[in-house]
Amino acid sequence: MFRINTNDIQEMEAELKTFARRAYPFATKKTINDAAFTAQRLAKADIRNELTLRNRFTEQSIQVDQARTLRVSQQEATVGSTADYMEDQEFGGTKTKGGKKGVAISTSFSAGQGTNAQPRTRLPRKANKLANIRLSKRRTRGATSKLQENFLKVKQAAQAGQKYVFLDLRRGEGIFRVQGGKKRPRIKMVHDLSRDSVVIPRNPWLAPVVAETERMIPAFYADALRFQIRRLGIFR
């Protein structure tokens, strides 16, 4: 439970507890919820303006579980994200591969920002998202070297009208988009799979807004107490 030592607020709190004790839990509940929804609003604004790879889903993932009970000792509201990757943003971490292939790192080309743009500031385009890509399971036959095998894979994909192909090149393995016609197909990497693990740097988005919101709680509490006092017609 929050504690505020401002004399004016303590006087209003004492008046409400004395003359309308049943109204007091409404004031504390409103204070807690006002703080939670303010933190949500500030977090969404910061994500919109600062966070790399910001998008509408990320903003909408910031949710509030508001206080509902009138039992003051049990009142609490929580603010957080329903998206797992936002925890990695807040605390940092390491993402490791889950199978034979490495961790998928989307390239700037997949986001429509050209080749090797650093840093990538957009999400991959819908067609280039890993979940939307289907690769052919057909094996290449007759290849005598890795170079020839890759060449045949690209040629077969172009001939079959397939837009994506997995290749293991000298510069790394990954998923490539096949472009151009059937005669002279070209490839562009959309997902790099050459790393076994990736370190995600710490980029707090929640802690700063919680600290900012905490400074507003006395004002929220004063407004909530004042509202109940005026609503009940308590002279002040």
Question: Residues near 235 by Cβ (< 8 Å), separated by ≥ 6?
Answer: none
What is the mean predicted confidence (pLDDT) over 11-24? 87
Q: What is the pLDDT of residues 3-15, one digit of tens each?
A: 566 778 888 888 8
Contact of 25 with 70, CB cutoff 8 Å:
yes
Most confident by average pLDDT, 11-15, 34-38, 107-111, 203-207: 34-38
| Better pLDDT: 142 or 97 | 97
What is the mean predicted confidence (pLDDT) over 54-81? 91
Looking at residue 54, its pLDDT comes to 60
Looking at residue 178, its pLDDT comes to 95
- Per the prediction, the chain carries an average pLDDT of 88
**Which tokens belong to 111?**
């986001």
Looking at residue 175, its pLDDT comes to 95
Confidence of residue 214 (pLDDT cuts 50, 70, 90): very high
What is the mean predicted confidence (pLDDT) over 23-28? 94
Looking at residue 75, its pLDDT comes to 96
Angle between helices 24-49 and 7-19 (to 10 degrees): 140
Residue 43 has pLDDT above 70, yes or no: yes
Distance from the Cα of residue 125 to its chain's centroid: 17
Residue 194 has pLDDT above 80, yes or no: yes
Q: Where are the domains of the chain?
A: 7-92+201-231, 96-199
Q: How far apart are CA 236 and CA 229, in angstroms?
A: 8
Q: How far apart are CA 13 and CA 24, in angstroms?
A: 8
Residue 64 has pLDDT above 90, yes or no: yes
Confidence of residue 143 (pLDDT cuts 50, 70, 90): confident
